[in-house]
Structure 1
Amino acid sequence: MVADVGRTPRAEQVGATRQQILTTAERLFAEQGLYAVSNRQISAAAGQGNNTAVGYHFGTKADLVRAIMRRHTTRIESLRQEAVAAVAGSEDVRDWVACLVRPVTAYLASSGGPTWFARFSAQVMTDPAFRSITAEEALAEAALREVVDRLIGLGPDVPADVREDRAAMVRHLIVHVCAERERALAEGAATPRSTWDEAATGLIDAITGLWTAPCTTEPEHRW
């Protein structure tokens, strides 16, 4: 085939090995946590006879985590670009919140099942040593930066610390709601919403309310 011209069997083997390691590491990290899983365990579960295969192909655990993130964020960014183009010029906060949520849920829905990316993302977010990787990879994408800028511009006039606090809440809502739904689907358990699209609608409603809520001034303590 034309697509195979210049691609050696060795290169194909290396590529297949890397993909197998990424898939295995993502599943193990999602199910057990980042610190509970060693490179040796990943290599063995990925069918690699060499226990140093993970380090050879990816370097440090942080490099491996970043590679897993990039494996998914490229496609999510493509979906977000389409979403942003569809609402260009909108002054409706809900439209821009949808640009945050629906690319993620649409990607998970299109990936079939079972998936581990949402649970993997939740594990990364709750780990201080790796949390910054998620933010770095996400904010490297132009479409996401545009969405964030638009939400800041359309949001209520609140102090910067309140805005940062709410932004953190939004991130946790998206990641952990998706992770809980993904876990329920993998276990065959009931879910509050029957589809990923309906789950996205619920998230968008909640986040829009959170983002546009008035800011309550803390009363002075009286003793």
Structure 2
Amino acid sequence: MTARARSDRSTATREAILDAAERLYAEHGVYAVSNRAIAEAAGQGNNAVVGYHFGTRTDLVEALVHRHAEPIDRLREAMLEHLPVEPGVRDWVAALVLPTAQHLEELGRPTWFARFAAQLMTDPALREIMVRESLTSPALSALLSGLNACLPALPDDVAAERADICRLLLVHHFAERERALADGFPTPRASWTDAATGLVDAIVGIWTAPVTTGTGAHLDPKEHT
């Protein structure tokens, strides 16, 4: 076997492992899936092949994250280049949301990345992998700076609360849509792009909503019956 053939075979094996791991992680959870199960799903008879190509479970998860982060970042960079001269909140939010939706659309069906990413963001240890990947993206840093600069003035606690809400929507809205598609259930929107448009509407509404003050949150529910 030539060096080129060995390299091509190794690349194909790595891709098969990544495909299998992403699917199994999305469907069962990262810690519920063994390297042996991944190797079998990838069509590999050697149970040590996952460790040989990727090292630890963390290394494999990092490879999966990076696999999707690169194309999403390219789409994000393209959106930033076409922003209007004076972008508003909706322009910045769209540039944040749409690249992931476009990437999922381009992957075709079925996809597993949205559910896989949602699992990472809810695990304290694995979440750091997603955070580190985000910190290496100049486009994402520029986007968030632009968005923060044009948001309405909000009290610090309210801004932090709304950032948490938006982060949850960004991660779990697409994961729920992906799960529904995988299970054959109807979805509110016909395409990933349409789903992104609805998510942009919701996030813009969250950031621009008025701030309620007073003691309304402590009212006795019986007063409203």
- Out of 129, 134, 144, the position equivalent to 1:133 is 129
Size of the aligned set, in residue pairs, is: 217
TM superposition shift of 1:19: 0.6
**1:10 and 2:1 matched:** no
For 1:143-158, list aligned pairs within 5 A.
143-158=139-154
**Counterpart for residue 46 of structure 2:** 50
**Counterpart for residue 75 of structure 2:** 79
**1:182 and 2:161 matched:** no
Q: 6-15 or 100-109, which moves further after superposition?
A: 6-15
* Runs of at least 4 residues off by over 6 Å: none
Counterparts of 2:154 and 2:84 in 1: how far apart (Å)? Answer: 25
TM superposition shift of 1:33: 0.6
TM superposition shift of 1:168: 2.4
3-state SS, counterpart of residue 124 of structure 2: coil
Q: 150-159 or 91-100, which moves further after superposition?
A: 150-159
Alpha carbons of structure 1 residues 20 and 166: separation in structure 2 relative to 1, 3 Å = same
Q: 59-68 or 158-167, which moves further after superposition?
A: 158-167
**1:30 and 2:26 matched:** yes
- Out of 171, 175, 192, the position equivalent to 1:196 is 192
Counterparts of 1:88 and 1:105 in 2: how far apart (Å)? Answer: 21
Which ranges in structure 1 are unaligned for 5 or more consecutive residues?
1-5
TM-score (norm 1): 0.90
Counterparts of 1:128 and 1:15 in 2: how far apart (Å)? Answer: 31
Counting aligned pairs with the same residue, the percent is 53
TM superposition shift of 1:144: 0.9
Counterparts of 1:64 and 1:163 in 2: how far apart (Å)? Answer: 35
TM superposition shift of 1:198: 1.3
TM superposition shift of 1:8: 1.5
TM superposition shift of 1:163: 2.6
**1:205 and 2:206 matched:** no
Amino acid at match of 2:78: E
C-alpha RMSD of the superposition:
2.0
Alpha carbons of structure 1 residues 136 and 214: separation in structure 2 relative to 1, 3 Å = farther
Counterparts of 2:25 and 2:39 in 1: how far apart (Å)? Answer: 13
TM superposition shift of 1:105: 0.6
Alpha carbons of structure 1 residues 59 and 88: separation in structure 2 relative to 1, 3 Å = farther
Counterparts of 2:164 and 2:49 in 1: how far apart (Å)? Answer: 36
More helix by share: 2
Counterparts of 1:66 and 1:209 in 2: how far apart (Å)? Answer: 33
Does structure 2 conserve the Cα–Cα contact (< 8 Å) formed by 1:156 and 1:214? no
TM-score (norm 2): 0.89
Counterparts of 1:210 and 1:139 in 2: how far apart (Å)? Answer: 24
Counterparts of 2:26 and 2:78 in 1: how far apart (Å)? Answer: 28
